[in-house]
Amino acid sequence: MVHLYYDSKTGNVQRFINKVIQITGWEAHKIEDGLTVEDAGHLITFTTKMGCVPDKTQQFMDAYASKINSVTSSGNRNWGKNFGLAANKISEGYDIPLAMKFELSGTMEDINQFIDIIKHQYNDSKRGSKKLDIA
């Protein structure tokens, strides 16, 4: 079973996650106080303040980075070079592969691409390849 850990502020990541789990049946866990992570999985978050990692996501990573196999972030292309920058910062800071970035709540193409990456780059292995790509 694939586990997805996510943080959503405006609902964009929540909508993305809802579509992914509807298609795949994977388990999604919202990052909130009291969440305990036992199973390895993939992080999906958002970028805030023109390129920053959300505080709740940062605290989650400080506690559970060893359980995270990849990072994906939503963002807004209006932010230019700061688009989805939270994913880059998490990837570099915790040595975790960056799976992809998507705008706002993602398109169906983004959702299918994400599913494909998780299924074929990882196949339930640990941390997968550093060459995930697509971002």
Instruction: For the chain, give the mean pLDDT.
Output: 88
For residue range 64-117, list pLDDT tens digits in order. Answer: 999 999 999 998 888 888 888 999 999 999 999 999 999 999 899 999 999 999
Task: Please give the pLDDT value at position 65.
Answer: 96
Map tokens 């706002």 to a residue: 104
Please tell me the total count of domains within the chain.
1
Q: What is the mean pLDDT of residues 41-64?
A: 93
Q: Is residue 117 part of a domain?
A: yes
Task: Please give the pLDDT value at position 122.
Answer: 56
The pLDDT > 90 percentage for the chain reads: 70
Global model pTM greater than 0.85: yes
Q: What is the CATH number of the domain that holds 115?
A: 3.40.50.360
Q: Is residue 23 part of a domain?
A: yes
Range of the domain at 34: 3-122
Element spanning 60, H or E = helix 55-64
Q: Is residue 127 part of a domain?
A: no
Task: Please give the pLDDT value at position 128.
Answer: 45
Task: Please give the pLDDT value at position 50.
Answer: 81
Burial label for 8, CB within 10 Å (0-12, 13-18, 19+), is buried
